[in-house]
Structure 1
Amino acid sequence: MSAALRRRPRQGRVATAAVLAAGLVAVPLVHATSASADPRGPAVGFMPPSTTLAAADPADVGLDPAPIEEAVAQVRAHEVPVGSAAYPLYPGAVGLMGYQGKVVRTDASGWAVAYGDEGVALPTDERVPMREETIFDLASVSKLFTSIAVVQLVQEGRVALDEPLATYLPEFAAGGKEEVTVRQLLTHTSGFVSWLPLWSAYPDPESRIAAVMAQPLDAPPGTRYLYSDLNLISLGVLVERLRGAPLDQVVADRITDPLGMTDTGYNPTAVERTAATEYQASPPRGVVRGEVHDENAWSLGGVAGHAGVFSTAGDLAILSQALLNGGRYGKARILSPASVRLMVTDLNGAFPGDAHGLGFELDQRWYMDAMSGPRTAGHTGYTGTSIVIDFDTHSFAILLTNRVHPSRDSGSINPARREWASGLARAQGIEPRRGADAWFSGDENATTSTLTASLDVPASGGRLAFDLYLDTEETDLLHLETSADGGTTWAPLPFTVRDRGPAEHPDGTASGSGTRRWTQARAQLPPGDLELRWRVVTDPLYLGRGVLVDDVVARAPGSLLLDGEATPEAFRPDGWRLVSR
Structure 2
Amino acid sequence: MRAKATVSRIAALFAILVVTGATAMAAVTASSGRFDQPQRGFAPASTLLEPADPEDAGLDPGPIRESRRLLARMTESDYVDGHPLFAGAVGLLAHDGKVVDTYAVGSAVRYEDGRGTELPTEKQVPMREDTIFDIASVTKLFTSIAVMQLVERGEVDLTAPVATYLPEFGVNGKREITVEQLLTHTSGLEPSLFLWRDWPDERSRVKAVMDVAPQNEPGTTYTYSDLNLITLGVLVERVAGDPLDEVIAERITEPLGMTDTEFNPPAEKLDRVAATEFQATPPRGMVRGQVHDENAWSLGGVAGHAGLFSTARDLSVLAQALLNGGTYDGERILRPSTVLQLFTNYNVEFPGDSHGLGFELDQIWYMGGLTSPSTAGHTGYTGTSLVIDRQSRSIAVLLTNRVHPSRSWGSINAARQAWATGLARALAVEPARGSRAWSSSPGDDATATLTTPELDTHGRGAVVSFSAFVNSEASDRLVLESSTDGGRTWSALRMRVHGTGAPHGAVDGLSGTDHRVWWRVRAKVSETEQVTLRWRFTTDGSYTARGVLVDGIRVSGAHGTLLDGERHPGRLDARGFTWTDR
Give TM-score scaled by structure 1 length.
0.92
Cα distance in structure 1, aligned partners of 2:82 and 2:238? 46
Question: Which amino acid in 2 is paired with 1:335?
Answer: L
- Matched with 2:234 is 237
Q: How does 1:68-147 map to 2 (within 5 A)?
A: 68-82=64-78, 85=81, 87-118=83-114, 119-147=116-144
Partner SS state of residue 255, structure 2: helix
Distance 1:493 1:34, change over 3 A: farther
Question: Which amino acid in 2 is paired with 1:353?
Answer: G
Paired-residue identity, %: 54
- Matched with 2:15 is 38
Cα distance in structure 2, aligned partners of 1:501 and 1:185? 32
Q: CA deviation at 1:196?
A: 0.5
Partner SS state of residue 40, structure 1: helix
- Matched with 1:316 is 315
- Matched with 2:34 is none
- Matched with 2:371 is 372
Q: CA deviation at 1:294?
A: 0.3
Partner SS state of residue 534, structure 2: strand
Q: CA deviation at 1:263?
A: 0.8
Partner SS state of residue 188, structure 1: coil
Query: Which of 199, 202, 207 is matched with 1:202 structurally?
Result: 199
Distance 1:31 1:387, change over 3 A: farther
- Matched with 1:64 is 60
Question: Which amino acid in 2 is paired with 1:123?
Answer: P
Cα distance in structure 1, aligned partners of 2:301 and 2:126? 25
Q: How does 1:142-541 map to 2 (within 5 A)?
A: 142-269=139-266, 270-453=269-452, 454-500=454-500, 503-504=503-504, 506-528=506-528, 529-541=530-542
Cα distance in structure 1, aligned partners of 2:174 and 2:485? 65
Distance 1:557 1:85, change over 3 A: closer
Cα distance in structure 2, aligned partners of 1:360 and 1:35? 17
Q: 1:132-178 CA deviation, whole Å, 9 max, x = no partner?
A: 11111000000000000011111222222122111211111111011
Cα distance in structure 1, aligned partners of 2:196 and 2:121? 35
> Is the Cα contact below 8 Å between 1:139 and 1:308 reproduced in 2?
yes
Q: 1:350-409 CA deviation, whole Å, 9 max, x = no partner?
A: 111111111111111111111111121111000111111111111101111111111111
Cα distance in structure 2, aligned partners of 1:222 and 1:303? 28
Cα distance in structure 2, aligned partners of 1:60 and 1:405? 37
Partner SS state of residue 38, structure 1: helix
Q: 1:435-484 CA deviation, whole Å, 9 max, x = no partner?
A: 22111233221122221213333555432211110111011112112222
Partner SS state of residue 405, structure 2: coil
Partner SS state of residue 387, structure 2: strand
Distance 1:342 1:478, change over 3 A: same
Distance 1:508 1:73, change over 3 A: same
Question: Which amino acid in 2 is paired with 1:158?
Answer: E
Q: 1:540-575 CA deviation, whole Å, 9 max, x = no partner?
A: 111111111100112235512221101112212222
Partner SS state of residue 429, structure 1: coil
Question: Which amino acid in 1 is paired with 2:125?
Answer: V
Q: 1:234-274 CA deviation, whole Å, 9 max, x = no partner?
A: 11111011000000000000000001101111000022221
- Matched with 2:36 is none
Q: 1:200-241 CA deviation, whole Å, 9 max, x = no partner?
A: 100111110110111000111111111110010011111011
Partner SS state of residue 550, structure 1: strand
- Matched with 2:3 is none
- Matched with 1:17 is none
Question: Which amino acid in 2 is paired with 1:404?
Answer: V
Q: CA deviation at 1:508?
A: 1.5
- Matched with 1:23 is none
- How many pairs were matched up? 552
Cα distance in structure 2, aligned partners of 1:471 and 1:98? 20
Partner SS state of residue 392, structure 1: coil
Cα distance in structure 1, aligned partners of 2:82 and 2:225? 31
Query: Is 440-449 or 297-306 further displaced after alignment?
Result: 440-449
Q: CA deviation at 1:411?
A: 0.7
Partner SS state of residue 422, structure 1: helix
Question: Which amino acid in 2 is paired with 1:570?
Answer: R
Distance 1:93 1:358, change over 3 A: same
> Is the Cα contact below 8 Å between 1:32 and 1:39 reproduced in 2?
no
Q: Which structure 2 residue ranges, 5 or more long, are not aligned? A: 1-5, 23-39
Distance 1:510 1:34, change over 3 A: farther
Cα distance in structure 2, aligned partners of 1:209 and 1:537? 50
- Matched with 1:4 is none
> Is the Cα contact below 8 Å between 2:161 and 2:176 reproduced in 1?
yes
Query: Is 297-306 or 127-136 further displaced after alignment?
Result: 127-136
Cα distance in structure 1, aligned partners of 2:413 and 2:66? 17
Q: Which structure 1 residue ranges, 5 or more long, are not aligned? A: 1-29
Q: CA deviation at 1:41?
A: 6.1
Give TM-score scaled by structure 2 length.
0.92
Query: Is 211-220 or 493-502 further displaced after alignment?
Result: 493-502
Question: Which amino acid in 2 is paired with 1:438?
Answer: A
Question: Aligned Cα RMSD in Å?
Answer: 1.8
Question: Which amino acid in 2 is paired with 1:407?
Answer: S
Q: CA deviation at 1:502?
A: 5.6
> Is the Cα contact below 8 Å between 1:320 and 1:389 reproduced in 2?
yes
Question: Which amino acid in 2 is paired with 1:33?
Answer: R
Cα distance in structure 1, aligned partners of 2:374 and 2:146? 21
Distance 1:401 1:273, change over 3 A: same
Question: Which amino acid in 1 is paired with 2:122?
Answer: D
> Is the Cα contact below 8 Å between 2:468 and 2:518 reproduced in 1?
yes
Cα distance in structure 1, aligned partners of 2:441 and 2:335? 40
Cα distance in structure 1, aligned partners of 2:9 and 2:240? 27
Query: Is 559-568 or 306-315 further displaced after alignment?
Result: 559-568
Question: Which amino acid in 2 is paired with 1:74?
Answer: L
Distance 1:502 1:357, change over 3 A: closer
Distance 1:331 1:504, change over 3 A: closer
Q: 1:177-212 CA deviation, whole Å, 9 max, x = no partner?
A: 111111111111111110110001001111101101
> Is the Cα contact below 8 Å between 2:442 and 2:448 reproduced in 1?
no
Cα distance in structure 2, aligned partners of 1:84 and 1:449? 27
Partner SS state of residue 144, structure 2: helix
Partner SS state of residue 66, structure 1: helix
Query: Is 449-458 or 536-545 further displaced after alignment?
Result: 449-458
- Matched with 2:32 is none
Q: How does 1:7-26 map to 2 (within 5 A)?
A: none
